[in-house]
Amino acid sequence: MSVAARAWTCALALAAAACGDASSFGGSVDRGSAQALGTITRERPTDDVAQARLAMQQDAWRREHRFLDAVSPGHLFGATRVLQVEIDAGVWSVDQLYQLGGQLFTLQLSRESGFGRGDGPLLRRIHDGRRGGPDATSCSSCHWRGGLAGAGDAADNAMLRGDGFHASSAVARNPPALTGAGVRERLALEMTAELQSLRDDTVAFAASHDYAVRIPLEAKGVGFGAITAHPDGTVDTDELEGIDADLVVRPFGWKGTIASIRDAAEDALLIHHGLQSEHLVIEGDEARVGDHGDDDPDGDGVADEINEGQVTVLSVFLALQELPQEQPPDDPYLVSMWARGRVDFETLGCARCHVPELPLDSARVVLPHRYGGPSLVIDATREGAEPSLAPAAEDGTLRVRLYSDLRRHRMGPALAEDRSEQGVPADEFLTPPLWGVARSRPYLHDGRAPTLEDAILLHGGEAQASADAFAQLDDPGRAPLRVFLTSLVRARRLVTP
Amino acid sequence: MLLLAALGGDDPVPWPGGDPPSDAELGQQVDDALEVHERERFEEYLEALEKGEDAEHIFVLQEDIDAGLHDLERLFQFGDALFGHEFRSSEGYGDAGAPVPMQRVHRGRRGGLDSFSCRGCHSVGGEDGAGAATQNAFLLGDGDDIRSTVVRNPPAVIGLGYVQALAAEMTIELQFTRDQAATQAVTSGQPVSVALSSKGVSFGQLEARPDGSVDGRAIEGVDGDLVVKPFGWKGTFPTLRRVVEDAALVHFGIQSHVLALGHQEQPDPERLGPGPDWFDPDADGRAREIEEGLLTATAVYLALLETPQIIPPHDPGLRDRWARGSARFDEIGCAECHRRELTLSQPIWAEYSDTSEGPPVTFNLLLDGDMPRSSARVQLFSDLRRHDMGPELADPHEGPAGAPPPATFLTRPLWGLAESPPYLHDGRATTIVEAILAHGGEAEASRAAFTELSDEARADVHVFLLSLSRAPRLRVPR
């Protein structure tokens, strides 16, 4: 454990009045100010009226707690302020953790809770390097289309890593839907394990047999190029495709540069809201958090803006997001078109990258503890927001209909940006999952495509042949694929507002 | 603390108004929401089946409206379809050579490309709602540097029929006062000075001269033409029709046929584009990008939308504070500009065509609008005039010629406030209290009075303002 990490654990334990003792994990811990308010739920009653009543009930709580927040300023933020030790001690149920995360996700952030930074304007639409904006006053204001934790409009595009002023200096990123994030992360972890074990076996083989071995890499049936292991233990990664040299599958971010939900959530809090997590403050990378000192690096007069527990509950909320659904049309003619489109999706080659289904070994979504405490382990089939992952088939395999291979591909010059990102070439992007795609307009990394058809036609690079094949069809010929893609939605849900 | 404890997880639901919605009420709302959902789902498939299908849902000719071919419900549907319609370049989205994707920093009065649909920037607080901070429009810029722009947060677009109707009545009254004074001055041969006031709101005064001319230097809060323009953060648009037309132009590069006709009469290349043909000013090869009939339908649609509601807290203790806050709101002077209510005398809407002589589309706001509706006493919390808000809130740049000065803004109606964060014209205030504290200029005294209140009294006002909301309404997200 690093010095910083130890100091951190101690600080937390102090808050729980039990410092310096490993038993602080799992001992008796009182709840702090956090409170599940009844405004968020994982449930989706199948009965419409029950669903409606639940929505109305949540809305009533939302309003009443908002009034309470006026009377006791900080009430709503405080209600999300859960300590990691409380989580570690198991005083919160998964359902409550989900609610706390959802409350943070939907909270209107304010300066009092650390929104913004002291050395810049309150809102900064075009980001200032890695420091970011802030550009939004809540997570849900950019993730709304199609429902809670949905996608963002083109107007909501983040303008990342700019000079703070010029649109031309930034890269535009359309907010993706966050549905099924936990399962997505789990798939990537299993693929990473598979790839790294292949590599390690190959290295061992090369060393013991004393000759170089070249082996194609594959995980869950997805190819990642090849590596060559040399007898001296070195690995030649020049032939790798769609993945970093460390063989970690990073399933988040348009460029596939983010490995975990926690990293994504923590970075989003930082760059979109100026909310600095305890962890990032301890890390102290001034390019990201600012240089106004250890306690309050962004200099906005608020220290300890987001604690580790809050990052955890936000991650839990995201990890348990409902899974998108496939809902074919009812009309018999439409059904026949849909069925044809399903086949076209394969024959046109879409399915080569947008792999419809990936097998999953385990539905256990694991949120590792960053400071030596117990990991959170959540069963995505039983504990996920409804509709959640379907339980395992008879053979024990879970099937995730993600429509992605979770690797990166070259998409050609038309989609290329003016710069590479963290070593990922300018025209290389992660295959975005197409589950729920009909509820996440507009399309592509910068939202340039208002319709699915526009998006398809803008594919280039490795997808050029598929796009060409689609382009050669006349309008009636394209219809089946469009109908099929239109069936990739989210479960119908009554909400308010 | 007692209050907080009383609201723990297993306690009875704090239904607004005290009672849960009845089964009948809920059932009706469910049916309505699902009907809309099923229809949209089907239309979505139809569009997938045949590209361009959904463009037909926004194709409406003024001639057909004039001929009475569309009833109110149909016009409402056209307007609703426009609000959700995603424009594409084949329909005239953008202009020739406009960079795709978005052009969020606008190029002067030509505008930019902000979204593909109206709905894209009105997502906060429910359907037809307000805009998030990310959805701010960056107007009148140089196309790249965001510092060159004026920033505007998208307002919610419900209840606007009442707003336009009230403003129109005020206009008539002010102009009548002016015309009477002018007549009197001419007949008496003496200058006549009159106070301008309508619905209890003062607009300064004017002096009519014996030669029939008018000295309007003492007019306040409204342009010299005495037309009360209730739309736009600076009060620059008189009607929903013009708002829709301008929004389509500056956010999508979609040019209405009416704009093109105006351009033919009086070319305005700075706003519409340098195209060689008057009928396609942005030279993207598409003329008649939207028909005049769509302006009519959309104005009708907006005028018929639901009205914001006052929804007090449930808890009796909070209700007391709400009542005290309401009184305090008047006491410290907020209500002087955020006038609680204006009374509508004439609820009949008449939507006239710009170009044809056809009969207007008429309906009764108090009978035909979506539920919930307002009564004739419209609780919009605005005086519908402009005020100087002081240097802190002033725009960083002068507007185009004839625009109100940088620090001048229309009194924002506060109805629906709680569902429309962030606040102020550029979304700079994340909370209502921040918004209050940012007031200056003519509101300086009220701001100061607010800051001098005890914490508790300030919270009371905050509670009251949070009750300015929208009725909970079920929908299926799309």
- Radius of gyration of chain B from Cα atoms? 23
Q: Across the strands, what pairs with B423?
A: B429
Please tell me the predicted confidence (pLDDT) of residue B53: 87
Would you call A439 and B477 a contact, using CB atoms and an 8 Å cutoff? Answer: yes
Q: Report whether pLDDT(B298) > 60.
A: yes
Give B37-91 pLDDT, tens digit per residue.
Answer: 999 999 999 999 999 888 999 999 999 999 999 999 999 999 999 999 999 989 9
Q: Does A70 touch chain B (CB under 8 A)?
A: yes
B169 min Cα distance to partner chain A (Å): 33
Q: Report whether pLDDT(B421) > 70.
A: yes
Q: Does B147 touch chain A (CB under 8 A)?
A: yes
Pick the more confident residue, B98 or A116: A116
Would you call A36 and B121 a contact, using CB atoms and an 8 Å cutoff? Answer: no
The mean pLDDT value for B172-189 works out to 97
Strands B201-208 and B214-215, how do they pair? antiparallel
Q: Report whether pLDDT(A8) > 80.
A: no
Instruction: Nearest chain B residue to A76 by CA: give it.
Output: B4
Residue type at B140? L
Give A258-299 pLDDT, tens digit per residue.
Answer: 999 999 999 999 999 999 999 999 999 999 999 998 899 999
Q: Report whether pLDDT(A194) > 80.
A: yes
* pLDDT level of residue B100 (50, 70, 90 thresholds): low
How many CB pairs below 8 Å do chains A and B form together?
A: 253
Would you call B123 and A153 a contact, using CB atoms and an 8 Å cutoff? Answer: yes
Which residues, 6+ apart, have CB-to-CB distance to B323 below 8 Å? none
Please tell me the predicted confidence (pLDDT) of residue A31: 76
Q: Report whether pLDDT(B202) > 70.
A: yes
Please tell me the predicted confidence (pLDDT) of residue B97: 66
Q: Does B195 touch chain A (CB under 8 A)?
A: no
The mean pLDDT value for A390-419 works out to 93
Q: Does B474 touch chain A (CB under 8 A)?
A: yes
Chain A residues 160-179 with CB within 8 Å of chain B: 165-168, 172
- Radius of gyration of chain A from Cα atoms? 23
CA–CA distance, B373 with B240 (Å, rounded to integer): 18
Q: Does B160 touch chain A (CB under 8 A)?
A: no
Query: Beta-strand (E) ranges in A241-342?
Result: 325-326
Would you call B466 and A115 a contact, using CB atoms and an 8 Å cutoff? Answer: no
CA–CA distance, B130 with B456 (Å, rounded to integer): 29
CA–CA distance, A15 with A1 (Å, rounded to integer): 20
Chain A residues 26-45 with CB within 8 Å of chain B: 35-38
Verdict on whether the full-model pTM lies above 0.90: yes
Using CB atoms, pick whichever of A52, A66, A486 lies closest to residue B466.
Answer: A66
Q: Does A446 touch chain B (CB under 8 A)?
A: yes
Please tell me the predicted confidence (pLDDT) of residue A18: 37
Would you call A48 and B144 a contact, using CB atoms and an 8 Å cutoff? Answer: no
- Mean of all residue pLDDT scores within chain B: 95
B143 in Cβ contact with B107 (< 8 Å): yes
**Could you give the C-alpha distances from A234 to A170, A198, A202, A249, B214, in angstroms and in order?**
38, 14, 11, 21, 90
Please tell me the predicted confidence (pLDDT) of residue A25: 42
Give A331-341 pLDDT, tens digit per residue.
Answer: 999 999 999 99
* pLDDT level of residue B10 (50, 70, 90 thresholds): low
The H or E element containing residue A351 is: helix A350-353
Percent of chain A with pLDDT over 70: 94
A203 in Cβ contact with A167 (< 8 Å): no
Half-sphere exposure of B255 (CA within 13 A, CB side): 29
